[in-house]
Structure 1
Amino acid sequence: MATAKTKQKILTTFLDLLSEHPYEDVSLQLLAETAKVKLSELRRAYSSKLALVEAFYESVDTAVLDQRDEDLGDQPPRDRLFDILMTRIDVLAENKEAVRAFAKAASQDPGLALDFNRFAVRSQKWMLVAAGIDLSGIKSGIVAQALAVSFSRVVDTWLDEPDEGMPRTMSRLDKELDKGSSFMKRLNRLEGVAKGFRKFVKAASRRRSRRSGRDRYPDDDYAADSEPEAMRESSV
């Protein structure tokens, strides 16, 4: 088992290499040589390049959660999420060129894009929690996926942002969150319709069950008529 120090050294070296080379050119052999670790040690620390990317996402999540402002609770959910995502941009800025390499690689490889998306969705679930927007079930996955796509657009803007004040990035984030608010309203309406439909189906099922029972034994007269004649005579 690799030590935390060794894992951090390898991850840092990986990100540094991405600031100079395309993602596809950073081989595990190059990484081991640059980090000055044996391949066996690299294997114990990270099983693949994808594992390194996942570790990067997790490190960004942790940094954002550590920097979370505990006073955010007084703000509306949208404003809390804006602050959390801008904090994420600030954390990403430490490895901006590596982020650029990831974005370029994903744009050229659909399979890789799907893998990165899986990490991004998981990260955005944590960003929602950090903003006090704690969702559950299928709704959590839908909202996190939508937020992952929206945030990727914000990152694209940020990567080309010439101003350190990031006015374009903040403006893009504002617009994406506005669209997200509209999406949430539609999603909530659909959720209400779905709940109503489920209630209707359950009620209809119960009515069918009751009708089925009545059809089988509609009333006492039917039951009496259905008895054999000898039985009716003996019961009189």
Structure 2
Amino acid sequence: MNEDAQTIDPDPEAGAVRNTPRDPREAIVEALLELAGERDWDDISISDVATRANLDLATFRDYFPSKGAVLAAFSRKIDKMVLAAPDAALEGEPAKERLFDVLMRRFDALSPYKLGVEGVYDWTRRDPIAAAAVNRLTVNSMRFMLEAAGLPSEGGVGALKLQGLALAWARLLPVWFRDDDPGLARTMAALDRELKRGETLVARAEDVGRLTAPLLALTRSLFERRGRPSRDRARDSAEL
């Protein structure tokens, strides 16, 4: 993953070589993940990232205000990689199988950055504020993973799915870090267990939602009725 900020391509007209700049944004993201695999997060400065990306600080500032913003860009990059590679063959499969496939594609997309992701994970284990910030990024990513699997992510049950999936993902990462099998057998087994557990919890939440829906509707109706007389009285007073 250690690359220069420029690549050398042949110039077909001059028979020489010319410098083709890398995208600075991409170079910064790659540099941060590289460094996160080599050092503690708190020991990585913005200057370190810029130097590794072969950029100056002014260019870094043009693209990102902080390391956290770079991490958010990395998360979006992985999201887009997963979303750009849908499997049409799974369209008729059960929901759990579709989500299983999406999340395994996410592990595949993360594979070149495994050491860096582990470095970020270790940082969140030491820093509760970091853990909360990364959890927000993960929840946002899981929204798109659910949508990619054709699963709803809105409403109260949707919020439960998102946070539950984010927590499950956090439990899966240590398994993936230690899984040296090219087929990721341990990771797949752990993911299957997490999704089965999640299915059970979501089913219970949906049952509770169905049971409480009439009560919520009645409560709203009572509040609306209590509000009407006061509005009617105010209108009558105004007419007098």
Could you tell me the TM-score, scaled by structure 2's length? 0.81
Q: Name the aligned partner's letter for residue 199 of structure 2.
A: S
What CA deviation, in whole Å up to 9, does each residue of 1:170-211 have, x standing for no partner?
11101100100001111101211231211232455678799x
Change (3 A) 1:202 1:116: closer
Could you tell me whether the CA contact under 8 Å between 2:64 and 2:70 is conserved in 1?
A: yes
Secondary structure of the residue aligned to 2:23 is: helix
What CA deviation, in whole Å up to 9, does each residue of 1:108-161 have, x standing for no partner?
000000000000000000000000002323332221110010011111111111
Q: Would you say how many aligned residue pairs link Structure 1 and Structure 2? A: 210
The answer to whether the aligner puts 1:83 opposite 2:106 as a matched pair is no
Computing the radius of gyration over CA atoms, which structure comes out larger, 1 or 2? 1
Paired with 2:56 and 2:134, the residues of 1 have a C-alpha distance of 27
Aligned to 1:26: 44
1:104 to 122, 126, 129: 122
Paired with 2:157 and 2:132, the residues of 1 have a C-alpha distance of 20
Aligned to 1:68: 86
The answer to whether the aligner puts 1:132 opposite 2:142 as a matched pair is no
Flag structure 1 segments of 5+ consecutive residues without an equivalent.
213-236
Q: Name the aligned partner's letter for residue 11 of structure 1.
A: V
More helix by share: 1
Alignment of 1:187-226 (within 5 A): 187-202=205-220, 204=222
Aligned to 2:24: 6
Higher deviation after alignment, 99-108 or 185-194: 185-194
> What is the aligned-residue RMSD (CA, Å)?
2.1
More strand by share: 2
Could you tell me the TM-score, scaled by structure 1's length? 0.83
Flag structure 2 segments of 5+ consecutive residues without an equivalent.
1-20, 230-240
Paired with 1:172 and 1:55, the residues of 2 have a C-alpha distance of 27
Paired with 1:4 and 1:128, the residues of 2 have a C-alpha distance of 32
Secondary structure of the residue aligned to 2:167 is: helix
Paired with 1:126 and 1:23, the residues of 2 have a C-alpha distance of 27
Q: Name the aligned partner's letter for residue 164 of structure 1.
A: P
What is the CA-CA distance between 1:85 and the residue it aligns to? Answer: 0.4
